[in-house]
Amino acid sequence: MKVRVKFFAILRERAGTADATRELAEGSTVSDLWQALRKDYPKLDVPGIRLLYAVNRSYVSPDHKLADQDEVVFIPPVSGG
């Protein structure tokens, strides 16, 4: 299956891109995707921060199972306002 990834804020800068498409094995989780992306983009990891995860614009847990064409966003600490 293929999923779509959007990068924002510090993760966009670290990835060097705003969008990616990633091929994954069936049954992969959000956490599996993050591990794969860390290999694709070696600078992606930001030490000391906690990420939240969104699939199709809703917050999910890291063990959420992905489906083909899902839109996945890794959310670094928010700081709106």
Partner 1 sequence: MFRVTDQPLNLQELVDFVTDPGAGAIATFIGTTRNNNEGRRVVALDYDAYPEMAEKELRRIGDDANKKWQLCRMAIAHRIGPVQITQASVMIAVSSAHREAAFAACRFAIEEIKKTVPIWKKELYEGGELWIGTQSGQPMLGD
State which of residues 49, 61, 62, 63 lies at the interface with partner 1 (CB under 8 A). Answer: 49
Nearer to partner 1, 1 or 46 (CB): 46
Q: Provide the minimum distance between the beta carbon of 59 and partner 1 in the complex, in angstroms, as a whole number.
A: 8
Mask: binding to partner 1, 7-46, rule CB under 8 A, as x and -? Answer: -xxx-x---------------------------------x
Interaction between residue 77 and partner 1 (CB under 8 A): yes
Cβ–Cβ < 8 Å for 66, 29: yes
